Amino acid sequence: MALKDLLVCIDRTVAGDARLRLAFNLARANGAYLAGAYALPEVPTAPAAPMGFGVASPAGMTGLADDGLSMGGAVSEGFREAEIAETVAQRFKSELRLHGIEGEWHLLADDDSAALLELAKSVDLTITGQRPPNTHTNGAARFRPEDIVMAAGRPVLIVPYAGAFETVGKRTLIAWDGTREANRALNDALPLLADAETVSVVFVGSRERDLEQHRAALGRAVHHLRQHGIEADPEETLRGDLAVSDILLSRAADLAADLIVAGGYHHSQLREALLGGVSRELLDHMTVPVLMSH
């Protein structure tokens, strides 16, 4: 299935700006419709943080927020946030026209995850961002990528808050463990792998017996990719004393991967929040974009 209907989650951070560039590149490459969802922040009680998008402050300081707010400044700050949102909207629409991309704009409250989920349920791919530290103070949206993964029923491309990623899928690591989620993620990733240079399907086992039991199925997963014209290689390794996520991230670095594909939340979100898990650890420590499906 081609990617013809995309949704990108935008906020006023530098990371949001980079995420938008990646979304435009994917839309152009696939001839896709692109919807933008902008999270309008709540009015802060402290000075706002630096922003992306080359947005000028009222004082004319491009890319920087005001130094502070006066008493009663909450109203003016609310207007200011609305002005920033309008600036980003006009830039988004201008880029659509410039590149001949069809699309639409959605302005959402920062805490209105329900509205975002409704949009995510009806697209081929949602592009959102990793939640950075200090989310409430740095201008990043509070939408949780794991909530989109769990509720949308569609693949989600999560982009790290640090780094620039113009394209994805040239060098891909697929984290495969035979679960329903992993198989779905592998299949959901097919449109992003059409021009891949290298694809490694990696299985991490706890024991030699695990490797033996999954070897045939791993081979079938690779065969499925090859039937779609995607050259892929199987890899298997024992985890030893290391976390599976650490092995995957280390191998991604070895391969200079620009994309990790993984099934999301084979265990419940609560269990992963309390005890940890591959999905949770990948989202916390990701260094390249992760395509995740549940």
Domain boundaries, the chain: 5-159, 171-293
* Res. 240 pLDDT band, cuts 50 70 90: very high
pLDDT, residue 138, reads 61
C-alpha span between 192 and 224 (Å, rounded): 15
246 has a pLDDT exceeding 80: yes
Quick one: angle between helices 278-285 and 145-152, nearest 10?
Answer: 140
Is residue 61 scored above 50 in pLDDT? no
Least confident of 150-159, 226-235, 260-269: 260-269
pLDDT at 112: 83
Helix (H, G, I), strand (E, B) or coil at 30: helix
Examine the pLDDT at 70 and tell me if it is beyond 70: no
Six-digit token pair at 231? 């050259």
Quote the crossing angle between the two packed helices 113-120 and 145-152, to the nearest 10°.
50
Report residue 282's pLDDT band, with 50, 70 and 90 as the boundaries. very high
Find the radius of gyration of the CA atoms of the chain: 20
Fold classification of 171-293 (topology level): Rossmann fold (3.40.50)
Taking the CA atoms of 220, 224, 225 and 227 in sequence, report the sign of the dihedral they define.
Answer: positive
In the sheet with 233-238, reading across from the earlier edge strand, the strands are 103-109, 33-40, 5-10, 125-129, 156-159, 290-293, 259-263, 171-175, 198-205, 233-238
For the record, the structure tokens of 146 come out as 């794991």
Lowest pLDDT segment from 60-69, 188-197, 237-246: 60-69
pLDDT for the residue 71: 47
The three-state secondary structure class of 158 is strand
- Return contacts of 93-102, CB within 8 angstroms, 24+ apart: 95/24, 96/34, 99/24, 99/27, 99/28, 101/24, 101/27, 101/28, 101/32, 101/33, 101/34, 102/33, 102/34
Q: What are phi and psi of 221, to 5 degrees?
A: -65, -45
pLDDT at 103 over 70: yes
User: In the predicted model, is pLDDT for residue 237 greater than 70?
Assistant: yes
| Nearest-angstrom CA–CA distance, 174 and 176 | 6
5-159 belongs to which CATH class? alpha beta
Dist. CA 205–CA 37, nearest whole Å: 39
Q: Which of 291, 251, 39, 14 is nearest to 157 (CA)?
A: 291
Structure confidence at residue 135 (pLDDT):
58
Q: What pLDDT is stored for residue 136 in this prediction?
A: 56
User: Per the structure block, which two tokens stand in for 4?
Assistant: 């013809």
Q: Looking at residues 6-33, what average pLDDT do you find?
A: 94
Indicate the pTM of the whole model: 0.86
Tokens of 293: 């499906």
- Which of residues 14 and 137 earns the better pLDDT score? 14
Q: Strand pairing partners for 39? A: 108
* DSSP at 254: H
Asked, colleague to colleague, whether 5-159 and 171-293 share their fold, the answer is yes
